[in-house]
Homo-oligomer: A and B are copies of this chain.
């Protein structure tokens, strides 16, 4: 037990669950858990199989990307996580995967259109796909710039309402109030990506869900008078 045991445990559990989720092959994904008070997060060590993880293999990193605790190298995507924690107030976890349907939309450089109530139960807009990064960003501090690209894309969007994004030619990042919620959002995103792909195959001219239905589904689950779930 140490002062980071809560976030190490949370990151450990979410990474193990990610490994069992069917979303990842090999070691293609990572989850982190944030301690807002201390300004540090625990993240998966880089390239380690999910079944070999323990809470003490988690690496604790501060928002300037310094390793604070742990003996292993953190995920190579660590700097992207720290940009998002620095910028998106109040989020408690981030998840990154290369799940196949979400990656397909990212590689096609298309946002995932909001086509039905499954999508509207979770967010009120398309799942956005960023612009491609330019060569300066790629050749510079790449993982930090990946975070910057996401943050830039959300200047006109609400990260509280839309807890997920596709980085063009790369794949999805999701976040939420906890590591567990961030992982949940990755699972939902993959299912929405699959449903939308099948839908546009059946009807290439299908259009966004009407505004009233988006609003209704979102409010019943997340609004002030929400009646989904237990009180």
| A residues neighboring B (CB under 8 Å) | 25-26, 28, 45-48, 72-73, 76, 98, 100-101, 103-110, 115-118, 132-133, 135, 138-139, 142, 169-171, 184, 187-188, 191, 194-203, 206, 209-210, 212-213, 216, 220-221, 227-231
Contact pick for A142, options B142, B194, B203, B220, CB 8 Å = B220
Q: How many Å from the CB of A195 to the closest CB on chain B?
A: 5
A227 contacts which chain B residues (CB < 8 A)? 46, 73, 76
Q: How many Å from the CB of A59 to the closest CB on chain B?
A: 11
Contact pick for A76, options B46, B104, B203, B220, CB 8 Å = B220
Q: A169 — nearest CB in chain B belongs to which residue?
A: B116
A45 contacts which chain B residues (CB < 8 A)? 230
Complex Cα distance A138/B219, Å?
A: 12
A115 contacts which chain B residues (CB < 8 A)? 107, 169
Q: A138 — nearest CB in chain B belongs to which residue?
A: B212
Contact pick for A230, options B47, B104, B184, CB 8 Å = B47
Contact pick for A203, options B108, B171, B188, B209, CB 8 Å = B108
Complex Cα distance A76/B98, Å?
A: 33
Given A73-B229, A107-B195, A188-B26, A139 and B212 touching (CB < 8 A)? yes
Indicate if the CB atoms of B171 and A118 lie closer than 8 Å.
yes
Indicate if the CB atoms of A187 and B107 lie closer than 8 Å.
no
Given A104-B195, A109-B206, 6 further pairs, Cβ under 8 A = A104-B199, A104-B202, A110-B203, A138-B212, A139-B212, A169-B210
Interface centre among A107, A201, A220, A228 (most CB of B within 10 A): A107
Interface centre among A108, A171, A196, A197 (most CB of B within 10 A): A108
Indicate if the CB atoms of B195 and A26 lie closer than 8 Å.
no
Q: How many Å from the CB of A211 to the closest CB on chain B?
A: 9
A191 contacts which chain B residues (CB < 8 A)? 25, 100
Q: A170 — nearest CB in chain B belongs to which residue?
A: B117
A117 contacts which chain B residues (CB < 8 A)? 169-171
Complex Cα distance A54/B64, Å?
A: 47
Complex Cα distance A111/B189, Å?
A: 25
